[in-house]
Amino acid sequence: MKKTPLYEKHVRLNGKIIDFGGWYLPVEYSGIIPEHEAVRTKAGIFDVSHMGEITVKGEDSEKYLQMVLTNDISLLNNNQIAYTTMCYPNGGVVDDLLVYKYSSVDYLLVVNASNTEKDFTWLKENLFGNTEVLNVSENYAQVALQGPLAQIILQKVTEKDLNEIEFYYFSDNVKIGSIEALVSRTGYTGEDGFEIYFDSTKAEEMWDMLLETGKDSGLMPAGLGSRDTLRFEASLPLYGHELDEDITPLEAGLGFCVKLGKDNFIGKEALVNQKAEGLKRKLVGFEMIDRGIPRSNYEVYAEGRKIGYVTTGSFSPTLKKNIGLALIDSSYAKEGTEIEIIIRNKNLKAEIIKKPFYSKKYKK
């Protein structure tokens, strides 16, 4: 089991520590609902130091990333970020990740913690030209400061004008207090906010400084539980749920980061064919009509037969409704269609609704 450099802080804050893909991390401190609400209305801070960081450097970096990723990296400006999937030849997903572009010869990939080793191996196996990939995850601590007051809080401890950092852009060498950091306007909550990367030896200093600075604004430490409900309401996918090696990004509704028009990339043929044939499955949002809470892997039925399964389901703290995401037969994907979720051997009624369940308030 691994610990992030903030483990002791979580314990001292009475965080409920769980095993999250091999990492000791807090699922909640004061409770999932209050932490969720703090992020929606004020601000929350998450330790996301478990995320993996991989650098890609060298003359052929852009050409290489164009081959292994589905999005069009050539369109990125320096200091811009892209969300993308990385696919197998059959179109299944290796991982979803963020690409930070310093320059066309220097990139940082931020990947899911539990996939870091797998991704790194895959990236090495497919390496070509003058390109070097390095797993630098150990060097980085990362915190996510999220919520409508995130900027006001962070601005108090930096001279960098945060208005200069646009949505999905980053700034390097930003001084937060006395700590040098990379700051990006990104997140996984559906709110405005920042992800802050810095030397892992400074983790406790950064954590304390931000918590202290945000105290008067209602900033709360937030755990993995609310991170999950927040991303779920915003319908942001989670690898292992909405995405995996058997689900393509098209089925998951991530066509926006699959650029079928670009030159060859791994998975292109399979994805082009899937699109041409029409999607047999689609990721949909649904709301329970009957009482009950849907959970991952519950079966979905319609007209007496199984049409798919729930990828994520929960009580929504913002909407106060029981909602879910499900991967189902496309012919039932239309809004308003009635489906059934099998909860403890009972067929409970639900209805297809629009996603995202919660619309983003991102600063552009």
Q: Point out which residues bind another protein (CB under 8 A).
A: 16, 27-28, 31-33, 225, 228-229, 291-293, 295, 314-315, 317, 322, 344
- Of residues 151 and 322, the one with the C-beta less far from another protein: 322
Question: At closest approach, how far in Å is the CB of 29 from another protein?
Answer: 11
Smallest distance from the beta carbon of 219 to another protein, in angstroms? Answer: 20
For the bound state, the minimum distance from the C-beta of residue 324 to another protein, rounded and expressed in Å, comes to: 13
- 3-class state of residue 154 by DSSP: helix
In whole angstroms, what is the distance from residue 181 CA to residue 197 CA?
Answer: 5
Min separation Cβ 317 and another protein, Å = 7
Comparison of 146 and 318: residue with beta carbon closer to another protein: 318
31 vs 177, beta carbon nearer another protein:
31
* Smallest separation (angstroms) from another protein to the CB of 52: 24
Residue 39 three-state SS: helix
Q: Which is nearer to another protein, 291 or 364 (CB)?
A: 291
In the block, tokens 């029981």 appear at 322
Judged by DSSP in three states, 227 sits in helix
Q: What is the CA radius of gyration of the chain?
A: 20
Q: Are 309 and 300 in contact (CB under 8 A)?
A: yes
Torsion angle defined by CA atoms of residues 50, 171, 220 and 41, in that order, rounded to the nearest 10 degrees: -120
Q: Are 137 and 116 in contact (CB under 8 A)?
A: yes
Give the nearer residue to another protein in terms of CB position, either 32 or 258: 32
Least distance (Å) between residue 291 CB and another protein: 7
* Amino acid (one-letter) located at 260: L
Question: What is the distance between the alpha carbons of residues 168 and 198, in angstroms, rounded to a whole number?
Answer: 18
Looking at beta carbons only, is 14 or 331 nearer to another protein? 14
* Shortest spacing between CB 225 and another protein, in angstroms: 6
Write the DSSP symbol of residue 76. Answer: P
Cα separation, 283 vs 147, in Å, equals: 27
User: Residue 268: which of 89, 65, 85 has the closest Cα?
Assistant: 89
Of residues 49 and 314, the one with the C-beta less far from another protein: 314
294 Cβ contact partners less than 8 Å away, ≥ 6 residues apart:
286, 288, 310, 313, 314, 322, 323, 324, 326, 341, 343, 350
Q: Which is nearer to another protein, 274 or 314 (CB)?
A: 314
CB of 314 to another protein, least distance (A): 6
Q: Tell which residue, 355, 348, 353, 253, has the closest CA to residue 301.
A: 348
Dig out the tokens for 154 from the structure. Answer: 């962070």
CB 68 within 8 Å of CB 120: no
